[in-house]
Structure 1
Amino acid sequence: MNPPPPGSRFQLWPRLRTAWAGRPALTIRTRLTLTYAALFAVGGSLLVLALTTAFYRLIFQPLPDDAVPSRLDPDHDHFIGLSDQIRDAAASHLLRIALILLLAVVATSALVGWWTAGRMLRPIAAITAAARRATDTTLHERLNLPGPADELKELGDTFDQMLERLDAAFVTQRRFVANASHELRTPLALTRTAVEVTLAKPEPTEAQWRTMGQDVAQSTARAQRLIDALLTLARSEQRVTDPVDDDLADVAAEALDQVAARCQERNLDLRTDLAPSPVHGNVALLGIAATNLLENAVKYNREGGLLQVSSGQVSDGSGGGGWAELTVSNDGPLLDEADPEALFEPFHRGRNTRAGDGRSGAQQAGAGLGLSIVRAVARAHGGEVTARARPEGGLTVTLRLPGSP
């Protein structure tokens, strides 16, 4: 079969289709303007057609019988013909004027529609400009769009809320990285100092080498605990995988077994009330959360203090699974009302944070990520964790998770 000759309509149509597909897309402002103009043109054309039709019907309808003279004038036919010519000319002139006026009105409406569309779409242009210049250093800027509470105003407010959340996330991330860098620097500095001090001696003794080895081992263990805690925190902030039905009371009982020896060492008054609390979640993460709660309660408790652990199920009034709760209370120093919320921040150890007084002791052995991990686990399961300072001293932390039906 011979190919179609060049320039034939068989080759013209693919070129036209390719050219049409490759044209630049029309902006929403242009589309709105064309829509306004097209609607006005259609409406105006119908109006002109209706007026012209009515005009023709009125001027070309026959005269009524009482309007026809009984005695015809010799020039009657001449006058009738002249009258028809005048009416035809008037109708044609009216039609031309109507079409010219229609074109002028359509052009004016297109210009007015272009300006109106620009005014209406100005908030979208502001949102687009803000999105283009949004970086980690400009997330504090807000649109604060003026105007009535319409869809565009709602879109601008939603964009401002998104910027606010992103700004808070970036601030938290920068603070977390800075704190993590500082925390990791401390054991590395201790390790380097122990090695340099030992190597600087002319003839180190075996006891000095052993002391250096112990210092290095302790610093390495501290760095390892911190890295493990960071990995656990990162894992806890992800969505829950492989959820199963379990009981929060059983999870708390297993966590109690891990801290039982330290409770005896500190002569703590352990009181438990573990009622059934069905829950649906990741068993490993729930175990980490319960263990962290109890380890913090033991570590920051006073000698011979109270450690109270209780669990139960709270109804949400909807007839579903309700909420599964685990509450841990301990004795300790008096805390301000604002302190408990700050304890959920990463690397926060109350008065023993990096910004605190720097005193050494058992309370500084932790990385300051225990309650942060508990909060991350709670959020990953769709729950929450709250802390409340006890009037007599100490803290009460409540872990609340969606219950299993």
Structure 2
Amino acid sequence: MTAPSTRRSGLRPTLRLRLTLLNGVLLVGAGAILLLLAWLLVRDALAPAADLRPGTEVVLDDGTRLDADQWEDQLLAAAKWQLLVKGLLALLAVSVVGVVGAYLVAGRALRPLHQVTTTARHLGETTLDQRIGYAGTDDEVAELANTFDAMLDRIAAAFESQKRFVANASHELRTPLAVMRTEIDVTLADDTADVAEFRRMGAVVRDASERANGLVDALLVLARTEAQSGGGLDRRVETDLAGGAARALSAMRREIERIKVRVKTDLADAPVVGDPGLLDRLAGNLVENAVRYNHLHGTIWVSTGSDGVHSRLVVRNTGFEVDQADVPGLFEPFRRGGRERTGARGSGLGLSIVRAVCGAHGGTVDVIAQAGGGLEVTVTLPAAGAPIAATTDGRA
């Protein structure tokens, strides 16, 4: 797909033409001023008869006798005429050369702008790899070309990320739908299926539908939170991260008991101002990840606190080992710490939502891979009463 051409026929007030005209006006103006000054200097300085006695005559080469004053007038008139004619010819020549030179120099200087225009006109889904690659003088035009190339890099990266996101979301949604379709088809094709078999099929379909519903809900939360990161929160209510952490632990109580995870807490007051629903989701995702990516008889540490300027929520867990170099990738949607999509529980959107919520509340999230396995995730938000500046930067 290419952008429609905006080129119009006829003479247009292009930047090149305007620069050329400006240069021409300046040259003609400067030349005219110099010619006028020369005219005035000749008029005032050329007065040879001023030092002669009145009535003095001047004898020319041809023997003609002229009064000194008359001879001076003729000399001055001839000098003015010569100055005018030769000055105008010189001004015309300088103006023509200057305008043509300015047109050529402006065209060469603005060539990268035409490259920017051509590249932008041909940009499309399949041509995002095109770049200007300006290699000229390090000036403002080079800065513009390099900025445009950097913008294309960001757009291409965002486009690829979006394509991966759509593909992964499609895969995640297709899996539970395929499970439901398969269970229904197999059960209906079995003529000997009894009530117990239909109940088993119903349980499988219910679990698959809950998984699909949870994924859709997570996608909606992520989209809503990322939208608020740029335009401000819809709700600003004073709440406490300690309460959200406690509610998250309570919601995961059965899973904690099932895998016999030890929980150690230090929940001091951590007041913040923001959307309580999103902040509860943040704490819930961190605790849920700490439980689901733990091992049998593992440990979870959850602590909150505030220094008056920032409020913090720290969730640390034991579990499988993660390389610190792989930590930034955990914030990408559908990444599960080395286990992507198949064979892992959850939607893979937990840390993506955490980063988006932190950005919407003007905070940051830091993740440190623990020696021996597990992660330590620290969420830092402005404390209640401190200024809140929305940002989309979540550090890893």
Instruction: Report TM bin, short chain.
Output: 0.7 to 0.9
**Alignment partner, residue 342 of structure 1:** 329
**Alignment partner, residue 393 of structure 2:** none
Q: Distance in 2 between matches of 1:48 and 1:177?
A: 72
- In structure 2, do the counterparts of structure 1 residues 161 and 106 end up closer, same or farther at CA, with 3 Å as the change threshold? same
How big is the alpha-carbon RMSD for the aligned residues of Structure 1 and Structure 2?
A: 2.7
Shift of residue 308 of structure 1?
A: 0.3
Match of 1:302 among 295, 303, 306: 295
**Alignment partner, residue 226 of structure 1:** 215
Match of 1:396 among 355, 376, 379: 376
Q: Is the 8 A contact 1:383 1:402 kept in 2?
A: yes
Q: Distance in 2 between matches of 1:216 and 1:261?
A: 22
1:227-270 per-position Cα deviation (integer Å, ceiling 9, x unaligned):
11111111121122222333322322232232234323433221
Q: Pairwise mapping of residues 41-60 of structure 1 onto structure 2 (< 5 A)?
A: 41-60=28-47
**Alignment partner, residue 130 of structure 1:** 119
- In structure 2, do the counterparts of structure 1 residues 203 and 233 end up closer, same or farther at CA, with 3 Å as the change threshold? same
Match of 2:284 among 288, 291, 294: 291
Match of 1:162 among 151, 171, 179: 151
Match of 2:140 among 131, 151, 158: 151
1:366-392 per-position Cα deviation (integer Å, ceiling 9, x unaligned):
111111211121222232222222113
- Aligned AA for 1:217? R
Q: Secondary structure at the match of 2:124?
A: coil
Q: Is the 8 A contact 2:57 2:65 kept in 1?
A: no
Shift of residue 296 of structure 1?
A: 1.0
1:1-41 per-position Cα deviation (integer Å, ceiling 9, x unaligned):
xxxxxxxxxxxxxxxxxxxxxx9751111111111111111
Match of 2:66 among 60, 68, 77: 77
Q: Secondary structure at the match of 1:349?
A: coil
What is the aligned residue count?
370
Unaligned runs of 5+ in 1: 1-22, 315-320
**Alignment partner, residue 264 of structure 2:** 271
Are residues 1:369 and 2:349 paired?
yes
Shift of residue 142 of structure 1?
A: 2.9
Q: Distance in 2 between matches of 1:377 and 1:344?
A: 12
Are residues 1:205 and 2:185 paired?
no
1:116-173 per-position Cα deviation (integer Å, ceiling 9, x unaligned):
2112222222222222222233323333323444322222222222112111111110
- Aligned AA for 2:283? A
Q: Is the 8 A contact 2:55 2:68 kept in 1?
A: no
- Aligned AA for 1:208? E
Shift of residue 69 of structure 1?
A: 5.7
Shift of residue 282 of structure 1?
A: 1.7
Shift of residue 81 of structure 1?
A: 4.1
Q: Secondary structure at the match of 1:367?
A: coil
Q: Distance in 2 between matches of 1:378 and 1:29?
A: 48
**Alignment partner, residue 128 of structure 2:** 139
Q: Is the 8 A contact 1:312 1:324 kept in 2?
A: yes
1:318-353 per-position Cα deviation (integer Å, ceiling 9, x unaligned):
xxx643221101111222233333222211223432
- Aligned AA for 1:199? L
Q: Pairwise mapping of residues 352-363 of structure 1 onto structure 2 (< 5 A)?
A: 352-354=339-341, 358-359=342-343
**Alignment partner, residue 98 of structure 1:** 87
Q: Is the 8 A contact 2:270 2:312 kept in 1?
A: yes
Q: Is the 8 A contact 1:340 1:387 kept in 2?
A: yes
Q: Is the 8 A contact 1:136 1:167 kept in 2?
A: no
Unaligned runs of 5+ in 2: 1-9, 387-396
Q: Distance in 1 between matches of 2:77 and 2:289?
A: 101
Shift of residue 51 of structure 1?
A: 0.5
Q: Distance in 1 between matches of 2:238 and 2:90?
A: 77
**Alignment partner, residue 258 of structure 1:** 251
Q: Is the 8 A contact 1:387 1:395 kept in 2?
A: yes
- Aligned AA for 1:180? A
Q: Secondary structure at the match of 1:365?
A: coil
1:199-224 per-position Cα deviation (integer Å, ceiling 9, x unaligned):
22234322222222222222212211
Q: Is the 8 A contact 1:311 1:327 kept in 2?
A: yes
Q: Is the 8 A contact 2:267 2:304 kept in 1?
A: yes
Q: Is the 8 A contact 1:344 1:375 kept in 2?
A: yes
Q: Distance in 2 between matches of 1:353 and 1:182?
A: 11
Q: Distance in 2 between matches of 1:223 and 1:259?
A: 20
Q: Secondary structure at the match of 1:350?
A: coil
**Alignment partner, residue 359 of structure 2:** 379
Q: Is the 8 A contact 2:48 2:72 kept in 1?
A: no
Q: Distance in 2 between matches of 1:32 and 1:256?
A: 68
Q: Distance in 1 between matches of 2:248 and 2:53?
A: 113
Q: Distance in 2 between matches of 1:244 and 1:123?
A: 51
- In structure 2, do the counterparts of structure 1 residues 139 and 270 end up closer, same or farther at CA, with 3 Å as the change threshold? same
Q: Distance in 2 between matches of 1:213 and 1:244?
A: 42
Q: Secondary structure at the match of 2:66?
A: helix
- Aligned AA for 2:268? A
Are residues 1:313 and 2:306 paired?
yes
- Aligned AA for 1:229? A
